[in-house]
Every structure is written in structure tokens, then in C-alpha cells.
Amino acid sequence: MELREQIIQVEGLSAAYDEQTILDDISFSIGRGEVFVILGGSGCGKSTLLKHLIGLYRPTAGRIFIDGENLVAAHGAERKALLRKIGVMYQHGALFGSMTLLENLCLPLEEFTDLPETARNLIATMNLSLVGLADYPHHYPAEISGGMRKRPAIARAMVLGPQILFLVEPSAGLDPVTSAEMDELILRLASSQGMTFVVVSHELPSICAIADRAIMLDKTSKGIIASGTPQQLAHSAIPQVRRFFARQAGNG
């Protein structure tokens, strides 16, 4: 594996809800420009890990470095600046229902930049066209299909030019064709925009298609049981990991 500059480093991260430990002392790092997949079965702590990485939750122990700075210890303006380096697409899009797609994209530009209106409009339209939705600027999120809703959500996450894009289940609940289109979109964005992608997913075909590297979380050990390229994971010596990947043949 080629050595890349690391953009995210997680050191000894532990997370718990009340008394229940979800993640126990996990460490990994993500290289700049990588498409990195966090995978695992339901309830293994994928979403919990992600919510810690994007600063929504505070870990019980451990450090998370984003671009060399510790997110856990950062406060105030420092933390804000750090969070500006990331964009997040939530599983169901989390688009604002009272705004059109264009307004959804214009909102962060309006709040965080002093660009003139035409500039905001142009950038929002460009980002919509990147995800193939240039024809729907005035549609409300409720007026486009559920599968389509993830696209403007990606565009909105990208609109401020983040260095890292977090995608939560980008292809969950999509039909195989749309799911493949989503994978293509992610690959195209990854290669052209130079952004780092952190994807939380359990959709095997899409993991194999997009991932440069992946880690697999496990419910019983509350940690990472395997990491590597999808090929390495598929031929892993650990039976649980092999079983997870073998399901693909059974399904597909």
C-alpha cells in the first residue's frame, strides 16, 4: 500500500452510552484522498464511531486528529474551524424540507461566506450539476424520490469545499442500478475533487466498488477486527469477516 499523508488519526478511542460501552480503545488512520469505508453488522457501533469523528459526541477516552489537530480537545473558534473541514451526508439526506434544493445548497454559502448572490447561486448550481440534479433547482426535497434525495445531500455537504466528506449509508435502500450510480458518483468525486471520503456502509457490492481501504467493526469485541483493502478482507483469516463477505456471493 502506498504511504499517504494522514488526514484523520484516531488514537485509543472509547465510546459509551451511559454504562454501555460501544467502542473500546480503537485506533486507525485515514490517508488524504482515500475512500475509506467503515463497515460492520448492525449495532456494531458504525454510526457511533462516525458521530464521534464528526464531533457530535465526545468520546469517553482517546483522541481524534483531523488534519493534525485534536478534535476532542479543540474548543470555540478552533473547533469550528476544524469542523469546517468536514462535510456530512446523513443517511436520509437531512435536507431542509421547507427549502428548495437550490436553497438548501445556498444556505451554508449564505451563512459562512460573504460571496455575492450570483456567486452563491452559481456555486450551488455547479454542485447540483455535479450530482446530476441541475434540472431540479426549484424542487422541494419531498418532490424528488427518496433515492434521489441523497444526491443533493452530498452536494450540500460539498458546497463549502470540505477536505473530508462523511457519507452515511450512501447506497442503503437504493435499487442495484441507482446504487451503482451512487458508487460511480462517489468515485468520480473522489478522483476529481481530491477529497477524502469516509463512508459508513454495510452494502457489500458498493464497498467492494468504492473502497480503497476498510475497517470492520465487531459487536462482541467492541473494536476493529479487520482492516485492509476489500480484497484482503474478503480473504481474511478471521471467520467472521469471511462470513460477512461470503454473504455477497449468496445474495448476488
Partner 1 sequence: MARATDTATPPAATLSIDDSRPAQLLLTIAGRLDLAGASALWQPAVEIVAQRQPQRLQLNVAGVDYCDGTGIGLLVELERRTTLYGGAFELQGLAEKFVRLREQFDLDRLRELPSTRPAPCCLPEATGIAMVKTWRALQALVSFTGELTVALLAALKQPRTVRWRDVWLTVEKAGVDALPIVALLSFLVGLIMAFQAAIPMRQFGTEIYVANLIGLATLRELGPLMTAIILAGRSASAFAAELGTMKVNEEIDALTTMGLAPVPFLVVTRVLAALFVTPLLTLFADLLGLAGGSVVLLSLDYPLVTYIHQVQSAVSFGDCLGGLAKSLVFGIIIAAIGCLQGLRAGSGASAVGDAATRAVVSGIVLIVIGDGVFSVLYYYLGI
Site of interaction with partner 1 (CB under 8 A): 77, 80-81, 84, 97-98, 100, 102-103, 106, 112-123, 125-127, 129-130, 134, 137-138, 141-142, 158-161, 188, 191-194
Q: What is the 3-state secondary structure (H, E, C) of 33-76?
A: CCEEEEECCCCCCHHHHHHHHCCCCCCCEEEEEECCEECCCCCH
Least separation, in Å, of the C-beta of 160 and partner 1? 6
Q: For partner 1, which is the closer residue by CB, 25 or 69?
A: 69
Cβ 46 to partner 1, closest distance in Å? 23
CB of 151 to partner 1, least distance (A): 14
By beta-carbon proximity to partner 1, the closer residue of 27 and 98 is: 98
Residue placing its CB nearer to partner 1 in the complex, 124 or 208: 124
Min. distance of Cβ 54 from partner 1 in angstroms? 17
**Torsion angle, alpha carbons of 193, 194, 196, 197, to 10:** 40
Torsion of CA 74, 80, 85, 87, to 10 degrees: 120
3-state SS class at 8: strand
Beta bridge pairs of residue 26: 13
**Residue 126, Cα to own-chain centre: how many angstroms?**
21
Residue placing its CB nearer to partner 1 in the complex, 130 or 167 = 130
What letters, b where the CB count within 10 A reaches 16 and e where it falls short, cover 121-139?
A: bebbbebbebbebeebbee
Of the pair 124, 226, the CB lying nearest partner 1 is at 124
Q: What is the residue type of 197?
A: F
Min separation Cβ 249 and partner 1, Å: 33
